[in-house]
Amino acid sequence: MVSRLSSVWLERPAVDPMAVTGRSPVQIREAGLFYITELGFCLVDYMQSKKSTGICVCLKDAEKTRKHLSEKNLIRKDLKIEKDEHFIYFPVKSTPKGINFYKVIKKEFKEIEKKPTSYKEIIKIPDKFKQKLPTSYDAIGDIILIKIPDNLLKYKREIGTALLTSKKNIKTVCLVEPVTGEYRTRKIQVIAGEKNTKTIYKEHGLTFELDVENTYFSPRLATERKRISSLVKHGETIVDMFTGIAPFPIMIAKHADPKIIYAIDKNKHAVKYAKQNIKLNNVLDKIEVINADAADISQVLLERNVKADRIIMNLPFSAYKYFQNALDIIAKTCIIHYYDILNEEEIPERIENLKKIAEKKHISLETLKVKKIKTYAPREFYIGIDITAKKKHEMLPM
């Protein structure tokens, strides 16, 4: 059975039904929208109901009855529990035993709206394409970033609209290409929702503002950032050579007690957001943001006389090019968190190369712990290596 709950008249200048009703075009269609040109439109909400066996008890017995019914798994999950001034009505699968203060009734109960668990349930494309739909995507704040295989690009609008409808807090869906170039940014095309690429992302109680179009950010590194912050000891001097919008420094400054963190990036957009985020998270006293090339790091940090106890090098594919620069600023002993994207077989060779670079500077690399952080491509991994670098001559007795 269908019962009409309400109808709302919306005036014509409200041209964007989504902005006015808070519903996506699909939801509006499903709710039953009557649009009258020039005048406005009327949105009518319908709610389904179903007849079911129920039990009726006085409000004072509501809680103990609900507990009893829940323990016996008798409450119907597809229908709403209802109440009036004196009674509460539980829709039940069968009548309970063990309580005797209820009345069995037959009644229309309102159905609980089933939310789609995946955008695949509501997308309107031919069935044969449905099993090829992407199963993963990144949600950064209220923006979804999704890669779509070439053979499904003709359905990008449908994919965007379905994602927008099924995810409550999402306002924009973007089609993205893999990150490229020096600044590790991606080509972006808004395929549904608001034409906006700026957002606010929250992670472990921290807030980050960013523009997904001209800065790099990955929510998939959240656990890694937390892990690094848990390793930092009191009073450390830390350098993040490729800081982006500064998620590593902010996580460390908030969850550990370093002396100072130098956050460096070449991309001026990233630096702008890094500065903003440091302010936003109240860690201005712990982090200094520097717009510079990591290749010039020793000159840049020279006047500050930096001897780093810990260095973060998150620039997969290219970090090794800057490894020698990192070694120029280390303290007697320094932990380097080195990130790369490599095939399993390439890992030992990369470690050997890093050791050779260090050897030339009379530095030994010890305890190299390799961690696979995520899969990047078939057989290719985003890896993190925790390296202990020690200056050889400073290890000798005086």
Binding residues vs ligand SAM (CB under 6 A): 182-184, 216-218, 221, 242-244, 247-248, 264-267, 270, 293-295, 314-315
Q: How far apart are CA 388 and CA 183, in angstroms?
A: 27
Q: Minimum CB separation from ligand SAM for residue 227, in Å?
A: 13
User: Which residue, 161 or 314, is less far from ligand SAM as judged by CB?
Assistant: 314
User: Which residue, 144 or 312, is less far from ligand SAM as judged by CB?
Assistant: 312
User: Which residue, 240 or 309, is less far from ligand SAM as judged by CB?
Assistant: 240
Spatial neighbors of 193 by CB under 8 A, at least 6 apart, are: 160, 164, 170, 171, 172, 173
User: Which residue, 217 or 381, is less far from ligand SAM as judged by CB?
Assistant: 217
Q: How far apart are CA 143 and CA 156, in angstroms?
A: 15
Q: Minimum CB separation from ligand SAM for residue 366, in Å?
A: 24
Q: Minimum CB separation from ligand SAM for residue 285, in Å?
A: 21
- Quote the Cα angle for 281-287-292, to 5°: 120
Q: Minimum CB separation from ligand SAM for residue 125, in Å?
A: 34
The helix-helix angle for 268-280 and 247-255 (nearest 10°) equals 20
DSSP codes of every residue in 274-324: HHHHHHHTT-TTTEEEEE--GGGHHHHHHTTT--EEEEEEE-TTTGGGGHH
Q: Minimum CB separation from ligand SAM for residue 270, in Å?
A: 4
User: Which residue, 99 or 295, is less far from ligand SAM as judged by CB?
Assistant: 295
User: Which residue, 52 or 267, is less far from ligand SAM as judged by CB?
Assistant: 267
User: Which residue, 211 or 265, is less far from ligand SAM as judged by CB?
Assistant: 265
Give residue number: closest CB to ligand SAM: 244
- Quote the Cα angle for 201-273-300, to 5°: 135
Q: How far is CA 326 from CA 184, 237, 369, in A?
A: 20, 13, 18
Spatial neighbors of 390 by CB under 8 A, at least 6 apart, are: 332, 333, 363, 364, 366
Q: How far apart are CA 164 and CA 173, in angstroms?
A: 7
Q: Minimum CB separation from ligand SAM for residue 331, in Å?
A: 21
Q: Are 291 and 271 in contact (CB under 8 A)?
A: yes
Residue in the block written with tokens 């199963």: 135
User: Which residue, 45 or 296, is less far from ligand SAM as judged by CB?
Assistant: 296
User: Which residue, 196 or 291, is less far from ligand SAM as judged by CB?
Assistant: 291
The helix-helix angle for 247-255 and 222-231 (nearest 10°) equals 50
Collapsing DSSP states into helix, strand and coil, what is residue 214? coil
Task: List the structure tokens of 13.
Answer: 């200048």
Q: Are 243 and 249 in contact (CB under 8 A)?
A: yes
The phi and psi torsions of 306 (rounded to 5 degrees) equal: -80, 130
Q: Minimum CB separation from ligand SAM for residue 57, in Å?
A: 55
Q: Minimum CB separation from ligand SAM for residue 67, in Å?
A: 47
Closest CA to 217 of 177, 182, 184: 184
Q: Minimum CB separation from ligand SAM for residue 263, in Å?
A: 9
